[in-house]
Amino acid sequence: MQFHFSAPSLPKSGSLVILAGKGGKLGSFGEELDKILDGGITRAFKCNRFNGENGQFLDIIAPNHGRLNRVLVAGTGKASELDHHSFERLGGSIVARLGCSGEKNLNVLIDLGDDLEIKPHEAAAHVAIGAKLRSYRFDKYRTKEGADKKPSLTKFSVLTKSSGRAETLFESHSPVLDGVFFTRDLVSEPANVLFPKSFAERLQGLSELGVDVEVLNEQQMKEMGMGALLGVAQGSDHEPQMVIMRYQGVGSSDEFPLAFVGKGVTFDTGGISIKPAAGMEQMKWDMGGAGAVSGIMHALAARKAHANVVGIVGLVENMPSAKAQRPGDVVTSMSGQTIEVINTDAEGRLVLADALTYVQNTFSPKTVIDLATLTGAMIISLGNEHAGCFTNDDGLAEALLSAGQKSGDKLWRFPVSPAYDKLINTPIADMKNVGPRGAGSITAAQFLQRFIDDGVKWAHLDIAGTVWAEADAPLWEKGGTGFGVRVLDQYVRDEFEK
């Protein structure tokens, strides 16, 4: 779908979306159109009990004006309560409503007067951002979908007095949305298509954007002593991989002060501690952390961010077999610390342990942020609205939570402390990979913190409840959400591109 920005006008073809505030209040162009239609819009308001509430829509099909196919009135509620997230949801809702309607050309008129708290060009840009996000579909395996079920929209035009500024803002965010789509593609693929080696091969394509991509194979990881990661992978026929992605946006510097690390379990059966059959098919997205790290590297390179960033993803498949690790096994991590494996379904933290050690030993970053679909306990705690944020630095926490609010990838901070850390002590090794039933997400974070060097700022984002949606929403269809890319991009903008 193509996106265009132009000055307000009344189109003579396609469909037109106009906005109506609380009480059915129209902007000046909406009032003009109502006059042209001999009061048809306001009459429709009355007979349909339309009062402009946020999220309310009214379809006026084939109005008696030129060649317009329809006028869609979108309620916005009180203009003073609208922010950029409101306009993103509006744009996404419009595409959700008309994307497969048969309409090809859609014009959205941004005209709400002077009551907006948000600047008009920002409102216009975020309508287009929301529309682009909602236009994504993962339909490559649908072979018998009827033509009436396929998207028809090819052109989305935003009509606003500040079209130039709106277009510039939209274009600055568009590469980030492409990164979100890259993540959604990865998260949506079935595990027979996306396994460690094929995942790594896809990431090689990032070199076309200027990302330096290196892949470590199983033998190389053995030589480096990555016993924690390799223990997870040993039950699978698919060889594990570790992918290192370097993006240098500050050409004069070879330092990488910021590192992103992602859990990439391409399918998680639970291993010998096997999961229940019901719902296990969803475990194809247990690589959501690696997907988000891949997407942010795509986004940063595509928009030519002024920052040096390294992204690391540990890619494994967790399978039960005669070769699989057992509960009670003790493995030695790359850091030299030993781990008693109490539960083979707590495997993501083992993968991250060696990835965290590798990135610190190799690049000496000042800040490390890991992302993982780590614990089911996080879904119990926060549902699907927020991801959990665990960190050893208050300033980093503040920056990430702020980036979450701005981007819409919302985070909620959880504690880490010695009281929780002692819950993963064990007599036979340096630590065990699970604690007691309570505080499961926190003890998982405490495990990861044991692999963070002194002086390194670290945050762990548990995104288990946010990478996959079980229902349609304004910004996505059921499926992969691409969570993580936008919050990390906003963090880089705020902290490294000031």
Residues 186, 478 contacting (CB under 8 angstroms): no
- The structure tokens 């942020």 sit at 369
SS3 386: coil
Residue 13: what pLDDT?
83
Cα–Cα distance for residue pair 134/88, rounded to 1 Å: 9
Q: Looking at the structure, do residues 150 and 215 belong to the same domain, yes or no?
A: no
User: Which helix or strand (DSSP H or E) is residue 322 part of?
Assistant: none
How many degrees, rounded to 5, is the angle at CA 430 between CA 426 and CA 432?
A: 50
Question: What total number of domains does the chain contain?
Answer: 2
Note whether residue 402 is domain-resident: yes
Residue 362 exposed, middle or buried by CB count within 10 Å (0-12, 13-18, 19+): middle
> Tokens standing for 294?
């891949």
Residues 127, 133 contacting (CB under 8 angstroms): no
Residue 495: count other Cβ atoms within 10 Å of its Cβ.
Answer: 18
Integer Rg of the chain from CA: 25
Residue 297: what pLDDT?
98
Residues 223, 259 contacting (CB under 8 angstroms): no
Cα–Cα distance for residue pair 314/200, rounded to 1 Å: 10
> Tokens standing for 84?
């950029």
SS3 241: strand
How many degrees, rounded to 5, is the angle at CA 474 between CA 472 and CA 477?
A: 35
Note whether residue 169 is domain-resident: no
Residue 413: count other Cβ atoms within 10 Å of its Cβ.
Answer: 16
DSSP 333: -
Give the rounded percent of residues in the chain with a pLDDT score beyond 70: 99
Strands, sheet with 367-372, edge to edge from the N-terminal-most edge strand? 212-216, 241-248, 308-318, 258-268, 367-372, 457-462, 387-391, 411-413
From the list 275, 406, 413, 450, the catalytic residue is 275
Annotation says 275 is catalytic: yes
212, β-bridge pairs: 246
Note whether residue 341 is domain-resident: yes
Give 108's contacts (C-beta < 8 A, 6+ positions apart).
Answer: 16, 17, 91, 94, 127, 131, 156, 157, 158, 159
DSSP 35: H
Q: Looking at the structure, do residues 153 and 181 belong to the same domain, yes or no?
A: no
User: Which helix or strand (DSSP H or E) is residue 59 part of?
Assistant: strand 57-61
- What CATH number does residue 32 fall under? 3.40.220.10
Residue 29: count other Cβ atoms within 10 Å of its Cβ.
Answer: 19
Q: Looking at the structure, do residues 388 and 475 belong to the same domain, yes or no?
A: yes
**How far are the Cα atoms of 34, 38, 61, 244, 254 from residue 28, in angstroms, in the given order?**
10, 15, 21, 54, 55
Residue 351: count other Cβ atoms within 10 Å of its Cβ.
Answer: 32
Residue at a domain's end among 134, 160, 186: 160
Q: Looking at the structure, do residues 87 and 236 belong to the same domain, yes or no?
A: no
Residues 10, 16 contacting (CB under 8 angstroms): yes
From the list 349, 410, 432, 457, the catalytic residue is 349
Q: Looking at the structure, do residues 262 and 291 belong to the same domain, yes or no?
A: yes
Question: Which domain does 456 fall in, by range?
Answer: 176-496
Q: Looking at the structure, do residues 256 and 130 belong to the same domain, yes or no?
A: no
User: Which helix or strand (DSSP H or E) is residue 297 part of?
Assistant: helix 288-302
Note whether residue 461 is domain-resident: yes
Residues 414, 443 contacting (CB under 8 angstroms): no
Cα–Cα distance for residue pair 339/324, rounded to 1 Å: 16
Q: Looking at the structure, do residues 210 and 355 belong to the same domain, yes or no?
A: yes
Residue 422: count other Cβ atoms within 10 Å of its Cβ.
Answer: 11
Note whether residue 358 is domain-resident: yes
Cα–Cα distance for residue pair 128/130, rounded to 1 Å: 5
Q: Looking at the structure, do residues 207 and 103 belong to the same domain, yes or no?
A: no
Going residue by residue through the chain, which has 498 residues, state the pLDDT in tens, using 9 for 90 and above: 999 999 998 887 889 999 999 999 998 889 998 998 889 999 999 999 999 999 999 999 888 766 789 999 999 999 889 999 999 999 999 999 999 999 999 999 998 766 678 899 999 999 999 999 999 999 999 999 898 889 999 999 999 999 999 999 999 999 999 999 999 999 999 999 999 999 999 999 999 999 999 999 999 999 999 999 999 999 999 999 999 999 999 977 789 999 999 999 999 999 999 999 999 999 999 999 999 999 999 999 999 999 999 999 999 999 999 999 999 999 999 999 999 999 999 999 999 999 999 999 999 999 999 999 999 999 999 999 999 999 999 999 999 999 999 999 999 999 999 999 999 999 999 999 999 999 999 999 999 999 999 999 999 999 999 999 999 999 999 999 999 999 999 999 999 997
- What CATH number does residue 335 fall under? 3.40.630.10
Residue 76 exposed, middle or buried by CB count within 10 Å (0-12, 13-18, 19+): buried
Residue 473 exposed, middle or buried by CB count within 10 Å (0-12, 13-18, 19+): middle
Q: Looking at the structure, do residues 412 and 358 belong to the same domain, yes or no?
A: yes
Q: Looking at the structure, do residues 86 and 183 belong to the same domain, yes or no?
A: no
Note whether residue 166 is domain-resident: no
SS3 140: coil
Give 332's contacts (C-beta < 8 A, 6+ positions apart).
Answer: 225, 227, 228, 338, 339
Residue at a domain's end among 97, 125, 160: 160
Cα–Cα distance for residue pair 71/319, rounded to 1 Å: 54
Residue at a domain's end among 128, 160, 192: 160
Query: Treating both helix axes as pointing N-terminal to C-terminal, what angle do 288-302 and 196-204 enclose, rounded to 10 degrees?
Result: 10
Q: Looking at the structure, do residues 294 and 442 belong to the same domain, yes or no?
A: yes
Note whether residue 325 is domain-resident: yes
Q: Looking at the structure, do residues 126 and 199 belong to the same domain, yes or no?
A: no
Note whether residue 116 is domain-resident: yes
Residues 257, 368 contacting (CB under 8 angstroms): no
Cα–Cα distance for residue pair 247/310, rounded to 1 Å: 6
Assign residue 66 a region: left if phi > 0, alpha if psi is -120 to 50, beta otherwise?
left
Q: How many helices (H) and strands (E) does the chain have?
A: 15, 20
Nearest one of 236, 204, 202 to 316, comparing CA atoms: 236
Residue 253: what pLDDT?
78
DSSP letters along 65-115, please? STEEEEEEEEEEE-GGG--HHHHHHHHHHHHHHHTTSS--EEEEE---TT-
